[in-house]
A and B are shown apart, each in its own frame.
Chain A
Amino acid sequence: MSDLLAARSQMAMSLAFHIIFAVMGIGMPLLMVLAERQWIRTRDPVWLDLAKRWSKGTAILFAVGAVSGTVLSFELGLLWPAFMEYAGAIIGMPFSLEGFAFFTEAIFLGIYLYGWTRLTARAHWWAGVAVAVSGTVSGIFVVFANAWMNSPTGFTLVDGKPTDIDPIAAMLGPASFPQALHMTIAAFATTGIAVAGIHAWMLRRDRESTFHRAALKLALLVAVPASLLQLVSGDLSAKFVAKWQPAKLAAMEGHFVTQRSAPLRIGGIPDERTRETRYAIDVPGGLSFLAFGDFDAEVKGLDAFPESDWPPVAITHVAFQVMVGLGTLMAFASLWVIVCWVRKREVADSRALLGLLALLTPAGFIAVEAGWVVTEVGRQPWIVQGVMRTADALTPMPGLVVPFAAFTLLYVFLGVIVAWLLWAQIIKTQPDPAHPIRRDV
């Protein structure tokens, strides 16, 4: 394994690991404060039990998210020092602001988790709100920094060196809004669907459980609007990519030849050697319309770029298909939920819907991972689009396969433990209606 491949793999693995916790770190606090709010309003102990369980889950996920995020803040330099030396002054702004947002989140999470007995219910609830808000804001700032790598603005290149730096313009570049919107909605949709899926699965076994019915209702309250809105924000993101990263769009679509009235390819396997995408279902003019709002618009194919500037086409295309496919399924399930609700005022009675939701439990996570593969692999061979190549940012440190192996082992270990803890400590334990709050923080 070359050092470059090892470094890219380590970065990919670290991001893939962290993003799961980041997503839950944004979504779970919202669920937890919604449940606590229901409790404060109705005094029905089922809501308190729910709030406590969800806050426990939040605590475990936050801890792992915090340490894996700390690792990432170091890895940027440990693996890509030339990138950070180049970009630090330009994108330091969102990172600094993220630091403060994350700090605020950590402070209020401590207050929330350990403050059940020390604060009034109202103050405690507001601490939860502070966690939810600062967690979301911190995610948005990190995405801003990544957005700059996709559409670098806010500086002028003079002899290969950035001058005339404008950190605000860099932070609010053209990719920032669509990317931050897409990711934030993804976090709510993913968490909502995952939690709904777990409780839907439980409900299939125990239809009368008021606990699982309550949990499902709240989770869907978050999941349904987010999953539907995601279609709109996805369209916005695609239009951004079409305009600013045409090579990435071509790879996403497995689109090799520049043409007018380009088809939208559903499925299929791109072959870089023969320059064609086989086994795809083509929707005529679909890509032209989705990218530029005109069925006849010309869409640049990969042939418009030197092969040395191509991203890995097959990976990008397949990842994109996976993301879109799962996103569509989640939206479909959401519509079904709405139909059930409008007709019967209850969603837990449809066994088929519960089954679909249970199946979709991991869907959001897979879609998020696939989406980040599209963003990051689709930008290759650039670390900063059109400005710096990934290979040129690599550390001179040799033997990078060693830290890659070490962190992989560590994260596999942590992943197994977290999954087991969430299962054994929170999901599997039966609610105890007589003493819902005892010994349970």
Chain B
Amino acid sequence: MTLADLIAGVTMLALNAYVVLGGADFGAGVWDLVAAGRRAHRQRAVIADGIGPIWEANHVWLILVIVLLFSCFPPVYASLSVTLHIPLVLMLIGVVLRGSAFTFRAYDSTGSAVQRYWGSIFSIASTITPILLGMCVGALASGALAVPADADFHARFVAPWTSGFAILTGFFTLAIFAFLAAVYLTVEAKDEDLQEDFRELAIVAALAVAALAVALLILGHRIEGSITPGLVSRPWSLVLQVLIGLAATTAFVALVRGAFRTARVAAVAQVSLIVWGWAYAQYPALIPGVHTIESAAAPAVTLRLVAWGLAGGAVVLVPSLWYLFTIFKSDEASAFQRVDTAEYKAPE
């Protein structure tokens, strides 16, 4: 394994973190959008409490992916930004609207009508953005980005990310995010009615994830240049597929039985394995048909320094993140009152 492989792996790890943390925040927005019935208000409250303290941190993973990409694999960053210009711009608009609307809703106390308005911007943007992100991944994985520079506008800038495969990948991504969010929310929700609500949603999402995964496998095999054959034909791919299946089954059974903590662990494992299954099937290509890890890697000196930077950064980040999550995601923490009605703890 080369240094470039290692950094590509770390980039993938950051993407993995973005999917299981930031992705769940998007998914929570989806459930905010579809929240209905007598308990809709309480469902939304659980969602807001769950996202509040950690969502900024969760979304920095995406910036880390981008920064690693342009420092260590600059031609890949440049090439993706050219061919995927349109969906990336649309995705960014979603990111901006979602992020700001969420904060505006939290700090705007002018009245419930305005808050609902922020809430709907937040939840609509939460739904559309993952689809666009998934369409970009679908364009990449289907090998559609190997377009000659003299191709016409449609062939170069539109066709790659609007194929059936890409669109299906978009919905697959949305389903994964929604699934993760619903599973996490079963743990976050403290009363049984809400837990039951989110359990049902999680089961629906799990079924959607499974159905879309099968559809993508079938569709992908028909596309020339797609990475789909790599999902099954490589030495370890079957092992990976079996592990994904095991994790998915565990998550599903745990959900049905109401073992929410087990379901959460299994769901994270399942989704992470899907991400790594994609990476493994595509390895060593970064953009299939255009760039490999080796062909796109920055000079060794840059890679070495970034590797040191990553190690140094991890020394700061890991304990900080651990601190953040122990404060807000431990059982003890949730026993505290909701923040907006609480008194500030005075020093003795």
Our verdict on whether A and B bind, yes or no, reads: yes
Q: Which residues of A, 403-424, contact B by the 8 Å Cβ criterion?
A: 403, 406-407, 410, 414, 417-418, 421, 424
- Distance (whole angstroms) from the CB of B318 to the closest CB of chain A: 11
Do residues B298 and A88 form an inter-chain contact, with CB atoms below 8 A?
yes
Which of the candidate stretches B59-67, B227-235, B238-246, B265-273 sits at the interface with the other chain? B59-67
Beyond A89-B299, A92-B67, A92-B72, is A118–B344 a contact (Cβ under 8 Å)?
no
Contact status A439-B149, CB under 8 Å? no
Residue from B62, B108, B310, B321 whose CB has the most chain A CB atoms within 10 Å: B108
Whether A117 lies near B96 (C-beta < 8 A) is no
| A77/B305 in contact, CB under 8 A | no
B95 interfacial contact with A, CB 8 Å: yes
Interchain CA distance A350-B52 in the complex, whole Å: 43
Closest B residue, CB atoms, query A438: B343
Q: Say yes or no for B327: interface residue by CB 8 A criterion.
A: yes
The answer to whether A329 has its CB under 8 Å from any CB of chain B is no
Say whether, besides A96-B306, A395-B82, A113 and B53 are in contact (CB < 8 Å): yes
Q: Are A103 and B317 in contact (CB under 8 A)?
A: yes
A236 at the interface (CB under 8 A from B): no
Distance in Å from the Cβ of B210 to the closest Cβ of chain A? 32
Q: Tell me, yes or no, whether B295 is within 8 Å of chain A by CB.
A: no
Q: How far is the CA of A88 from the CA of B72 in the complex (A)?
A: 7
Is A284 an interface position by the 8 A CB rule? Answer: no
The distance in angstroms between the C-alpha atoms of A74 and B309, with both chains bound, is 21
Q: Are B313 and A100 in contact (CB under 8 A)?
A: yes
User: Interface SS of chain A: helix, strand, loop or mixed?
Assistant: helix
A33 to chain B, nearest CB (A): 15
Q: Is the CB of A62 within 8 A of B347?
A: no
Query: Is B113 in the interface zone, CB < 8 Å from A?
Result: no
Given contacts A70-B95, A88-B70, contact A56 B107 (CB under 8 A): yes
Cα A146 to Cα B74 in complex, Å, equals 17
Q: A64-B100, A110-B57 are in contact. Are A73 and B63 (CB under 8 A)?
A: yes
Contact A441:B81 (CB < 8 A) given known A103-B317, A121-B346: no
| A59-B328 contact, Cβ under 8 Å, with A89-B302, A99-B64, A439-B340 | no
Closest CB-CB distance, A94 to chain B, in whole Å? 9
Contact of B77 with A by CB under 8 A: yes
Q: Which residues of B contact A108 (CB under 8 A)?
A: 320
The minimal Cβ–Cβ distance linking B118 to chain A, given in whole angstroms, is 9
A395:B81 contact, CB within 8 angstroms? yes
Verify B309–A403 contact, CB threshold 8 A.
no
Picked from B71, B328, B344, the residue with its CB within 8 Å of the CB of A92 is B71
Interface window among B36-44, B84-92, B171-179, B195-203? B84-92
Bound-complex Cα distance A165 to B55 (A): 37
Q: A77 is contacted by which of B63, B72, B77, B340 (Cβ under 8 Å)?
A: B77
Interface residues of A in 120-140 (CB under 8 A from B): 120-122, 130
Residues of B within 8 A of A62 (CB): 56
CB–CB A67/B75 < 8 A: no
A81 contacts chain B at the CB level, 8 A cutoff: yes
Is B107 a contact partner of A77 (Cβ separation < 8 A)? no
Complex Cα spacing A29 to B152, Å: 50
Give Cα distance in the complex from A78 to B77, angstroms: 9
Q: Which of A122, A397, A439 has the most C-beta atoms of chain B within 10 angstroms of its own C-beta?
A: A397
Is A283 among interface residues, defined by CB-CB distance under 8 A? no
**Chain B residues with CB below 8 A from A180, complex form:** none
Residues of A within 8 A of B20 (CB): none
Give residues of chain A (73-109) contacting chain B, Cβ–Cβ below 8 Å: 73-74, 76-78, 81-82, 84-90, 92-93, 95-100, 102-104, 106-109
Instruction: State whether A396 touches B347 (Cβ < 8 A).
Output: no
- B71 close to A95 (CB less than 8 A): yes
| Cβ contact within 8 Å between B317 and A397 | no
Indicate whether B257 reaches chain A with its CB closer than 8 angstroms: no
How many angstroms between the C-alpha atoms of A414 and B92 in the bound complex? 14
For B323, the chain A residues whose CB sits under 8 A away are: 107, 111
Q: Are B344 and A78 in contact (CB under 8 A)?
A: no
Known: A93-B309, A96-B68, A97-B309. A117 touches B93 (CB 8 A): no
B258 CB to closest chain A CB (Å) equals 28
B342 close to chain A: CB less than 8 A: yes
| Residues in B neighbouring A69, C-beta threshold 8 A | 63
Cβ contact of A84, chosen from B78, B317, B339, B347, cutoff 8 A? B78
Q: How many whole Å from B255's CB to the nearest CB in chain A? A: 28
Q: Are B99 and A66 in contact (CB under 8 A)?
A: yes
Q: A70-B95, A71-B92, A167-B305 are in contact. Are A84 and B107 (CB under 8 A)?
A: no
Alpha-carbon separation in the docked complex, A106 to B66 (Å)? 17
Given A414-B100, A439-B341, A395 contacting B306 (CB threshold 8 A): no
Q: A70-B92, A84-B77, A395-B85 are in contact. Are A107 and B336 (CB under 8 A)?
A: no
Residue B161, interface by CB 8 Å: no
Q: State A410–B125 Cα separation when bound (angstroms).
A: 13
Task: Name the contact of A110 in the complex, choosing from B82, B107, B324, B345 (C-beta under 8 A).
Answer: B324
Check B71 against A89 for contact (C-beta < 8 Å).
yes
Q: Is A425 an interface residue (CB 8 A)?
A: yes
Contact with A along B287-304 (1 / 0, CB 8 A): 000000000001101100
Known interface pairs A84-B77, A118-B336, A441-B339; A66-B59 also in contact (CB < 8 Å): yes
Cα of A95 to Cα of B72 in the assembled complex, Å: 11
Measured between beta carbons, the chain B residues less than 8 angstroms from A437 are 343-344
Task: List B contacts of A48 (CB < 8 A).
Answer: 344
> Which residues of chain B from 307 to 326 have any CB-CB distance to chain A below 8 Å in the complex?
309-310, 312-313, 316-317, 320-321, 323-324
- Which residues of B have CB within 8 Å of A106? 56-57, 59-60
Question: Told that A110-B56, A396-B82 touch, could you supply 17 new A-B pairs with CB distance under 8 A?
Answer: A48-B344, A59-B103, A64-B100, A70-B62, A70-B96, A77-B81, A78-B81, A88-B298, A89-B71, A93-B305, A96-B71, A96-B309, A397-B82, A403-B85, A410-B93, A410-B97, A424-B110
A-B contact pairs, 10 of them (CB 8 A): A84-B74, A85-B78, A100-B309, A102-B60, A106-B56, A109-B56, A116-B342, A119-B327, A122-B347, A165-B299
Ranked 4 nearest A-B pairs via Cβ = A92-B71, A88-B74, A77-B81, A89-B298
